[in-house]
Amino acid sequence: MNQLVTKKPEHETIYLRVRDMILFGEVVPGQPVTIHGLAQAIGTGVTPAREAIRRLTAAGALVSRENRRIEVPDMTAHRLEQIELVRLTVEPALAEAAAKRCKPHDIKELERLDALVDEAIKVGDIRGYLEANYHFHFYLYGLADAQILHRIAETLWLRIGPSLRVVCGRYGTANLVDHHRKATEALWANDPQKTKEAIAQDIRQGMDFVRQTSAD
């Protein structure tokens, strides 16, 4: 019998788990991450935890300080500026490419995800908002079939995840606006250019929102 599920290695699982922790605000900028503590928290050995941490530091999601301590990097205005520059190049390009390959079935899925975003905002569920927002964007980006851009976008989201959590915690979800409607409408209209612009606008406003927390 064919084995349908290819068992993924432990370090891959841990990597995905910690990645989610960072993306969805379970960690805070400046928070130290120990290889031991991580292994213990997840309930696994230290070897796969090490490898997961290496991958995350390579992606810039964690930083390794000189005393070989590892922690979640904090955000600065300067870093935010760099991230915005690249996001505004990469993600609209992904959205444009996605729009060209998008099927009605995909747009419906995006609308479903967007409804989750709205719901989370209304209820004030920060974690739910972060997850739904991420899934909306990366379902769209996944349609683009552009792995390199996709991965760059992911590393940038890993960098803003913790800060986004902080600012949401401070100001709540009331100030959040959902700009995804414009994107799905452009997709229905089969208009890649408009989709691209909608995502660019969404990014600009998201980054403005995060800017409220960054130290100088």
Residue 9 as a binder of DNA (CB under 7 A): the answer is: yes
Instruction: Return the bridge partners of 33, or none.
Output: 70
Residue 6 as a binder of DNA (CB under 7 A): the answer is: yes
Q: Which is nearer to DNA, 9 or 172 (CB)?
A: 9
In the complex, what is the shortest distance from the CB of residue 5 to DNA, in angstroms, rounded to a whole number?
11
Residue 50 as a binder of DNA (CB under 7 A): the answer is: yes
Query: Would you tell me how many other CB atoms lie within 10 Å of the CB of residue 122?
Result: 12
Residue 51 as a binder of DNA (CB under 7 A): the answer is: yes
> Pick from a copy of itself, DNA, none: which does 29 bind, CB < 5 to 8 A by kind?
none
Q: Which is nearer to a copy of itself, 56 or 207 (CB)?
A: 56
Q: For 58-95, b where at least 16 C-beta lie within 10 A, e where not — what string?
A: ebebbeeeeeeebbbbbbeeebbeebbeebeebbbbbb
In the complex, what is the shortest distance from the CB of residue 97 to a copy of itself, in angstroms, rounded to a whole number?
9
In the complex, what is the shortest distance from the CB of residue 41 to DNA, in angstroms, rounded to a whole number?
11
Classify residue 15 as left (phi > 0), alpha (psi -120 to 50) or beta. alpha
**Site size toward DNA, by CB under 7 A:** 21
The answer to whether 121 touches 178, Cβ cutoff 8 Å, is: yes
Closest CA to 24 of 161, 137, 167, 141: 161
Closest CA to 157 of 54, 50, 7, 56: 56
Q: Are β-strands 63-64 and 70-71 bridged in parallel, bridged antiparallel, or unpaired?
A: antiparallel
Residue 20 as a binder of DNA (CB under 7 A): the answer is: no
CA 32, CA 10: separation in Å to the nearest integer? 22
- Binding test (CB under 7 A) with DNA, winner from 11, 135, 194, 196: 11
In the complex, what is the shortest distance from the CB of residue 50 to DNA, in angstroms, rounded to a whole number?
6
- Binding test (CB under 7 A) with DNA, winner from 16, 30, 31, 36: 36
In the region spanning residues 69 to 108, those forming contacts with DNA, defined by CB under 7 A, are: 69-70
Residues of this chain that bind DNA (CB under 7 A)? 6-7, 9-11, 33-37, 44-48, 50-51, 67-70
